[in-house]
Amino acid sequence: MKKGVFMTFVAILVPWFLQAQVSEAVNEAQNLTLEQAVAFAVEHNKELQASQLNIELRNKMVTEAISQGLPQINASLAYNTNFGRELDFGGMAMKMKDQMNLGVSVSQLLFSGQWILGIQTSKIAKQIAAQQVDLTELDIKETVYNSYYTVLASERLMEIIQENLKNMNEIMRHTENMYKAGAAEITDVDQIRVTVGQLKNSHLAMQRTVDVNYNLLRLYLGLQAGTPLKLTDPIEKFLELGSFLSLASQTFDVNNNAQFQLMLSQEQLQEKMVGLKKWAFAPTLAGSYSYQYQIMKGGFMNMPHTAGITLSVPIFSGLQRKAQLDQEKITLEQTRINKSLLEDQLKLQEEQYKFALKNALEDYNWQEENIKVARKVLENYQHKYNAGAISSLDLTQANTNYLTAENNFTAACLTLLQAQTQLEKLYNELK
């Protein structure tokens, strides 16, 4: 196989294979990475599909604007009969003959400033439609990112509670045996039982939370509630501290922001609208040609040709054109003010988002240290309890502290990831 043919085959096969992977993963609903989830949501989101159709609509509008400056060709065919009537010309009667007219006319716009600007305006409108699609896509990605992270966080907490429940059940059995042997008090057994019961309730509540979070993700993916789904990316995969530090030190270029790019295009569009109204004062020039082929009953034929150039000069429209121009100028000024306001808002958002990211990173590091200490204390207390050195109340308190530390750490992970997502969206860097 030739190299060029092979590369073409690969270029066709690889996108198809990747798409098949995404579709298969979702249809089987067993394994879904974050990348696959985002790709599927973008592909199947109905709001995004509607926005993409708007681009196609703008394409047709560009074609329509261009066509107004292309030759306009029309043909006509007419047959007229007088039903044999006669006309009296001073006592002399003339019978009217039937006639048939064949005609072709061609007109061509030679010069119009409005036509040229109209094409430019329609192209900018198409660009705006594409940018609106990009904004919608960013919103979808942000939603899926945060939903995916929330599911991972809730699953982590459920696994921790489940593991802790298993551990406390073993401690409860050990305590019961100690009580039977006379080495423990009944209050110790009751205390451990209460803790086990609380853990069971917490596990059931967290299971419901996981189910709700999964259903929210299914909703964003366009899947039916209850569709089997398993997220394969562990939350640890996204907790690379280097990426957070790099993002926090990044310089913000407001021109890269998708929302600001849209505003710039809207300003350009409004400038063209002002130009359109200005050209309404200018003359237009058009050329025309027509050919009429006339046939009368009896064999008489007439074949006239006509051609001409028309210059249209607007003189006075009761101040209508000036009023329309003034309106567009005011709208342009409003657009520029809104652009300046948006720029200020985006720069303020960047400061706030960076502050939130740095705080989230500090809290993450703090909670990570806390969880290490809490886990170490719990393990130490379990050994002491088994040796009879501490009471069940001390053990359950250490267990509660550990679960609180795990909960705080998981919340810190989620907050950190969400802070990263909103800053990446601001930078237009969501993949």
Which tens digit of pLDDT belongs to each residue from 191-208? 999 999 999 999 999 999
In this predicted structure, the answer to whether residue 88 has a pLDDT above a threshold of 70 is: no
Q: Give the torsion through C-alpha atoms of 41, 45, 51, 55, to 10 deg.
A: 60
Length of the chain: 431
In this predicted structure, the answer to whether residue 15 has a pLDDT above a threshold of 60 is: no
Partner residues linked to 231 by β-bridges: 32
d(CA 399, CA 379): 9
In this predicted structure, the answer to whether residue 255 has a pLDDT above a threshold of 90 is: yes
Which band of pLDDT confidence, cut at 50, 70 and 90, is reported for residue 18?
A: very low
The verdict on 10 and 55 lying in the same domain is no
Are β-strands 86-89 and 99-111 bridged in parallel, bridged antiparallel, or unpaired? unpaired
Does residue 98 lie within any of the structural domains?
Answer: no
The verdict on 20 and 46 lying in the same domain is no
Q: Higher confidence at residue 212 or residue 8?
A: 212
In this predicted structure, the answer to whether residue 246 has a pLDDT above a threshold of 80 is: yes
Quick one: average pLDDT of 79-100?
Answer: 65
The verdict on 128 and 253 lying in the same domain is yes
Are β-strands 72-80 and 99-111 bridged in parallel, bridged antiparallel, or unpaired? antiparallel
The verdict on 346 and 377 lying in the same domain is yes
Which band of pLDDT confidence, cut at 50, 70 and 90, is reported for residue 101?
A: confident
Query: Which residues fall within 8 angstroms of residue 344, CB to CB, at 6 or more apart?
Result: none
Q: Which tens digit of pLDDT belongs to each residue from 136-148?
A: 999 999 999 999 9
Q: Which amino acid is at 190?
A: D
* Per-residue confidence (pLDDT) for residue 315, from 0 to 100: 76
Does residue 353 lie within any of the structural domains?
Answer: yes
| Token output for 270 | 């409004």
Quick one: average pLDDT of 145-169?
Answer: 94
In this predicted structure, the answer to whether residue 28 has a pLDDT above a threshold of 60 is: no
Q: Which tens digit of pLDDT belongs to each residue from 355-404?
A: 999 999 999 999 999 999 999 999 999 999 888 888 888 988 999 999 99
The verdict on 203 and 342 lying in the same domain is yes
The verdict on 384 and 235 lying in the same domain is yes
The verdict on 343 and 233 lying in the same domain is yes
| Token output for 249 | 């030190």
List b or e across 397-426, with b for residues whose CB sees 16 or more CB atoms inside 10 angstroms.
bbbebbbebbbbbbebbbbbbbbbbbbbbb
d(CA 131, CA 123): 13
Does residue 293 lie within any of the structural domains?
Answer: no
Which band of pLDDT confidence, cut at 50, 70 and 90, is reported for residue 309?
A: confident
In the predicted model, what is the mean pLDDT of the chain?
A: 82
DSSP-derived letter for residue 96 is P
User: Could you tell me where the DSSP H helices lie in 46-185?
Assistant: 46-67, 113-180
N- to C-terminal Cα separation, the chain: 35
In this predicted structure, the answer to whether residue 7 has a pLDDT above a threshold of 70 is: no
Does residue 95 lie within any of the structural domains?
Answer: no
CA angle, 91 then 95 then 96, to 5°: 125
d(CA 107, CA 175): 101
- Give the closest residue to 133 by CA, choosing from 44, 221, 52: 52
Which band of pLDDT confidence, cut at 50, 70 and 90, is reported for residue 12?
A: very low
Q: Higher confidence at residue 317 or residue 139?
A: 139
The verdict on 167 and 214 lying in the same domain is yes
d(CA 370, CA 364): 10
Contact 31/230 with Cβ under 8 angstroms?
Answer: yes
**What is the model's pTM?**
0.78
* Per-residue confidence (pLDDT) for residue 142, from 0 to 100: 95
The verdict on 22 and 142 lying in the same domain is no
Q: Higher confidence at residue 355 or residue 54?
A: 355
* Per-residue confidence (pLDDT) for residue 283, from 0 to 100: 77
Residue 116 sits in which domain range?
34-71+111-282+319-426
DSSP-derived letter for residue 236 is G
Query: Which residues fall within 8 angstroms of residue 252, CB to CB, at 6 or more apart?
Result: 346, 347, 350, 426, 427
* Per-residue confidence (pLDDT) for residue 65, from 0 to 100: 65
Quick one: average pLDDT of 320-335?
Answer: 86
- Give the closest residue to 112 by CA, choosing from 275, 277, 279: 279
Burial-class residue 207 by CB neighbours within 10 Å (0-12, 13-18, 19+): middle
The verdict on 12 and 51 lying in the same domain is no
* Per-residue confidence (pLDDT) for residue 71, from 0 to 100: 77
* Per-residue confidence (pLDDT) for residue 103, from 0 to 100: 77
Burial-class residue 348 by CB neighbours within 10 Å (0-12, 13-18, 19+): exposed
> Which range has the worst mean pLDDT, 109-123, 139-153, 168-182?
109-123
- Give the closest residue to 121 by CA, choosing from 292, 256, 273, 252: 273
How many percent of the chain have pLDDT more than 90? 42
Q: What is the CATH number of the domain that holds 188?
A: 1.20.1600.10
User: Could you tell me where the DSSP H helices lie in 181-257?
Assistant: 186-221, 241-248
d(CA 8, CA 424): 34
Does residue 407 lie within any of the structural domains?
Answer: yes
d(CA 166, CA 168): 6
The verdict on 275 and 416 lying in the same domain is yes
Q: Higher confidence at residue 119 or residue 24?
A: 119
| SS3 category, 232 | coil
The verdict on 122 and 21 lying in the same domain is no
Does residue 412 lie within any of the structural domains?
Answer: yes
Most confidently predicted of 65-79, 87-101, 397-411: 397-411
Structural domain count, the chain: 2
DSSP-derived letter for residue 280 is T
Does residue 301 lie within any of the structural domains?
Answer: no
Quick one: average pLDDT of 118-137?
Answer: 86
Does residue 312 lie within any of the structural domains?
Answer: no
